[in-house]
C-alpha cells in the first residue's frame, strides 16, 4: 500500500466498533475517515439496538411500576395511562441525542465522515458509491443484521424483527416472540408491560442459552409469574399470514404435539448474522469462517495485508462493548502498541425486570471443564435495600476456585444488576479472590452488599444468612 495514500485509516461502518476505532486512531495521530451508509452515525446500537431498546424498557418499566408497584409503597396514582406516541417520541429523542453526539465526536477528532456505501475494490482502496479513496489501512466494522426463519417473510409491521418491534405504533393484542434469547425477552417484556399478551416460543429447553442455568430457570419462573407465556422446547413449523393476523403453528421438540398460536404481531428474534455482503470481499479474497464471519487473527488482521475487521462481523459475542474494546485495540495495534482484551471477562446483561448480568464462567462450563469450585449465594430477599425498594426477587451467585478461592464467575439476577456487574468485572480483571471482595467495605444499605455476602458465602461465612 502506497505511503502517499489520502488516509492512514478508513473505517467501514460507524457503529460502536467503527466509530470507536476511528476516534482512537485519530487520538493516536492518524488521518482517519469513517464510511457510513445509514443517515445517522452510531450503527445498530444507537439507531435500532441497545439505546432505543433501553429507552423503551425503562419507560415501560415505569408505566408498569406506576400501575402495580407504587401502591405497595404507599403511592397512589389514579388512572395511569399510556401515551405510546409520547413514549416513542422519548425513544426517538434519546436516539437523536446519541447519534448527534457521535457526529460531534467525529468532528472534534477531525475524522471525515464519508457518507455512502463502501466497497473494497483492492487493498488500500475504498470506494464510496463509486468514488475511490486511498488508505494505508482498512478496518471493516459493518456489524450484523437480523436473520429470519426459512419461509418467513419480514414486513416490519405484522411480522417484525427487533427493528419493527421498537417502532410499533399500537400495543399488540397478542405478540408471539420466536426465540427466547436476550432480544426476545427484552422486547417481549416491553410490550407485555404495555398491555400485550406475550408468548415466547424457544427451541431450546430454557431461555437465555449461555447464561447460568440456575439463573435462567429462575428467570423463566419470574416471567411466567409476570404473565408471559413460555413455550420452551417448541419449534415453529409454519407461519401463515393474512391481512390482520398471523397463525404460528408450533410443535414440541419431541414432535407429538402441535398447536396454533394467533398473533397480530410476530417478533422473529432468532439471531443475527454478520454483514459481509456487498463489500466485494470475494473479489479481493478475504476469507470468512464457517459461520460466515470475517476471519481474523488476534490483531484483527484478515488474511489480506492492510485489511482488518472488528465487532459483530467477526467471531465472539455480538455486544456493543465487545465491539468498542476491539475498536480501541485495532487502532492501538495499527499504532504499534500492544493492547490486550480478555475475552473471558466480557459481561453479558439482560435488561428485563429483574435484570440479569453475568461475567466469567457458568456452573455448566466449570463442570464441563472439570474445574473444582465453591458457590457463594445470597438472595436479595435478605438485603435491606432491596426490601426498602420492594424488589426482592433474585440472587447473587459467585463461583470461586475451590483451591485458591479466585473468582471464576459471577451471576446476578435482581434489581439494578446491570450496574452491579461492573464490580465483579473489575474484581476479576484484577484476579481477585472472593475473599478480596469480602474484605472490601461496601456501603450500607446497598444492593452491592449482596455481592460481598455471596463472596463470604464461598467460604460459608455470610453474616446475614
Ligand atoms: P453495528 O452497530 O451493526 O454497525 C455497523 C454499521 O456499519 C451500520 O451502521 C451499518 O449501516 C454500517 N455499514 C454496513 N455495511 C456498510 C457499507 N458497506 N458501507 C458503509 N456502511 C456500512 N449490545 C449490547 O452490548 N448491549 C445491549 O443492550 C444491546 N442491545 C441490543 C438490542 C437490539 C434490539 C439489537 C438488535 C442489538 C443489541 N445489542 C446490544 C448488540 C449491539 O447493537 C451490537 O453488538 C453492536 O451494535 C455491534 O457493533 P458494530 O460496530 O460491530 O456494528
ipTM of this complex prediction, to 2 decimal places: 0.99
Instruction: Provide the b/e sequence for 260-270 (b: ≥16 CB within 10 Å).
Output: ebebbbbbbbb
Q: In this structure, which residue's CA is closest to atom 22 in ligand 1?
A: 13
How far apart (Å, rounded) are the C-alpha atoms in residues 223 and 350? Answer: 13
Reported as a pLDDT band with limits 50, 70 and 90, residue 217 is: very high
Backbone φ and ψ for 453, nearest 5 degrees, come out as: -65, -40
* DSSP classification of residue 66: I
Say if CB 268 and CB 148 are below 8 A apart. yes
**Is 369's pLDDT higher than 70?**
yes
Residue 2 has pLDDT above 90, yes or no: no
Please give the Cα distance from 355 to 393 (Å, whole number). Answer: 10
pLDDT digits (tens, 9 = 90+) for 73-114: 999 999 999 999 999 999 999 999 999 999 999 999 999 999
C-alpha cell, 52: 432505543
Q: How far is the CA of 199 from the centre of ligand 1 (A)?
A: 27
Residue 294 cell numbers, joined: 470475517
pLDDT of residue 243: 86
Determine the Cα–Cα distance for residues 185 and 124; give it in Å rounded to an integer: 43
User: Average pLDDT, stretch 269-284?
Assistant: 97
> What DSSP string describes 118-164?
EEEEETTEEEETTEEEEEEEEEE---EEE---TT----SSSEE-HHH
26-72: per-residue pLDDT in tens?
Answer: 999 999 999 999 999 999 999 999 999 999 999 999 999 999 999 99
Q: Is the pLDDT of residue 168 over 90?
A: yes
Rounded to an integer, the average pLDDT of 457-462 is 96
Over range 139-159, report the average pLDDT.
95
Instruction: Give the mutation target among 58, 143, 273 for probing the ligand 1 site: most ligand atoms within 8 A of CB.
Output: 143
* DSSP 8-class letter at 406: B
**pLDDT tens digit sequence for 180-209:** 999 999 999 999 999 999 999 999 999 999
Residue 129 pLDDT: 98
Cα–ligand 1 centroid distance for 439 (angstroms): 40
pLDDT at residue 146 is higher than 70: yes
The string of pLDDT tens digits covering residues 116-125 is 999 999 999 9
Rounded to an integer, the average pLDDT of 432-459 is 98
The tens digit of pLDDT for each residue in 297-306 reads 999 999 999 9
Region 215-238: mean pLDDT is 97
Ligand 1 center from residue 26 Cα (angstroms): 21
Which residues line ligand 1 at a C-beta cut-off of 6 Å? 12-18, 35-38, 43-45, 49-50, 53, 117-118, 141-144, 162, 183, 275, 278-279, 311-312, 318-321, 323
Residue closest via CA to ligand 1's atom 26 equals: 50
Residue 367 and residue 400: Cα distance in Å, rounded? Answer: 13
Question: What is the CA(303)–ligand 1 centre distance, in A?
Answer: 23
Of 40 and 254, which is predicted with more confidence?
40
pLDDT reported for residue 1: 55
pLDDT classification of 14: cutoffs 50, 70, 90: very high
CB count in 10 Å sphere of residue 463: 10
Q: Which residues of 186-196 are buried (b: 16+ CB within 10 A; e: fewer)?
A: bbbbbbbbbbb
Active site residue 444: yes
Atom number of ligand 1 nearest to Cα 311: 52
Query: 260 pLDDT band (50/70/90 cuts)?
Result: very high
- Of 90, 192, 444, 464, which is the active-site residue? 444
Give the per-residue pLDDT at 4. Answer: 86
What mean pLDDT do residues 283-293 have? Answer: 97
pLDDT over 70, % of the chain: 99
Q: Is the pLDDT of residue 253 over 70?
A: yes
Q: What is the pLDDT of residues 132-141, one digit of tens each?
A: 999 999 999 9
Distance between CA atoms of residues 367 and 346, nearest Å:
20
383-401 mean pLDDT: 98
Amino acid at each position: 500500500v502506497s505511503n502517499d495514500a489520502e488516509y492512514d485509516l478508513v473505517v467501514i461502518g460507524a457503529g460502536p466498533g467503527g466509530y470507536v476505532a476511528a476516534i482512537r486512531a485519530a487520538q493516536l495521530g492518524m488521518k482517519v475517515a469513517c464510511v457510513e451508509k445509514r443517515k445517522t452515525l452510531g450503527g445498530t446500537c444507537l439507531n435500532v439496538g441497545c439505546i432505543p431498546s433501553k429507552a423503551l424498557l425503562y419507560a415501560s418499566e415505569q408505566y408498569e411500576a406506576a400501575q402495580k408497584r407504587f401502591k405497595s409503597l404507599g403511592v397512589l396514582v389514579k388512572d395511569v395511562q399510556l401515551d405510546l406516541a409520547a413514549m416513542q417520541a422519548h425513544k426517538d429523542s434519546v436516539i437523536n441525542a446519541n447519534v448527534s453526539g457521535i457526529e460531534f465526536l467525529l468532528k472534534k477528532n477531525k475524522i471525515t465522515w464519508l457518507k455512502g456505501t463502501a466497497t473494497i475494490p483492492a487493498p488500500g482502496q475504498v470506494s464510496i458509491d463509486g468514488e475511490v479513496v486511498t488508505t494505508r489501512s482498512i478496518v471493516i466494522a459493518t456489524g450484523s443484521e437480523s436473520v429470519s426463519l426459512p419461509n418467513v417473510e419480514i414486513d416490519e409491521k405484522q411480522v417484525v424483527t427487533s427493528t419493527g418491534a421498537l417502532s410499533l405504533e399500537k400495543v399488540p393484542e397478542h405478540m408471539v416472540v420466536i426465540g427466547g434469547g436476550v432480544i426476545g425477552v427484552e422486547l417481549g417484556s416491553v410490550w407485555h408491560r404495555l398491555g400485550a399478551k406475550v408468548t415466547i416460543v424457544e427451541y431450546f429447553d430454557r431461555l437465555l442459552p449461555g447464561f447460568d442455568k440456575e439463573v435462567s430457570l429462575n428467570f423463566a419462573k419470574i416471567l411466567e409469574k409476570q404473565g408471559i407465556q413460555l413455550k420452551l422446547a417448541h419449534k415453529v413449523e409454519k407461519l401463515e399470514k393474512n391481512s390482520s393476523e398471523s397463525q404460528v403453528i408450533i410443535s414440541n421438540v419431541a414432535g407429538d404435539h402441535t398447536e396454533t398460536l394467533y398473533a397480530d404481531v410476530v417478533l422473529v428474534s432468532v439471531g443475527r448474522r454478520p454483514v459481509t455482503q456487498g463489500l466485494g470481499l470475494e473479489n479481493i479474497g478475504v476469507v470468512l469462517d464457517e459461520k460466515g464471519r470475517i476471519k481474523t487473527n488476534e490483531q484483527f488482521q484478515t488474511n489480506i495485508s492492510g485489511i482488518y475487521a472488528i465487532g459483530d462481523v467477526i467471531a465472539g459475542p455480538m455486544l456493543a462493548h465487545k465491539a468498542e474494546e476491539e475498536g480501541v485495540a485495532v487502532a492501538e495495534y495499527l499504532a504499534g502498541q500492544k493492547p490486550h482484551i480478555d475475552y473471558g471477562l466480557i459481561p453479558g446483561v439482560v435488561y428485563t425486570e429483574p435484570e440479569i448480568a453475568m461475567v466469567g464462567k457458568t456452573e455448566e462450563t466449570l463442570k464441563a471443564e472439570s474445574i473444582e469450585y465453591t458457590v457463594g449465594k445470597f438472595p436479595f430477599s435478605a438485603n435491606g435495600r432491596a426490601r426498602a425498594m420492594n424488589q426482592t426477587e433474585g440472587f447473587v451467585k459467585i463461583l470461586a476456585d475451590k483451591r485458591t478461592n479466585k473468582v471464576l464467575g459471577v451471576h446476578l439476577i435482581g434489581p439494578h444488576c446491570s450496574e452491579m456487574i461492573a464490580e465483579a468485572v473489575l474484581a476479576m480483571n484484577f484476579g481477585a479472590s472472593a475473599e478480596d471482595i469480602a474484605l472490601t467495605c461496601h456501603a450500607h444499605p446497598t444492593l452491592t452488599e449482596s455481592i460481598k455476602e455471596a463472596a463470604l458465602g464461598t467460604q460459608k461465612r455470610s453474616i446475614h444468612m
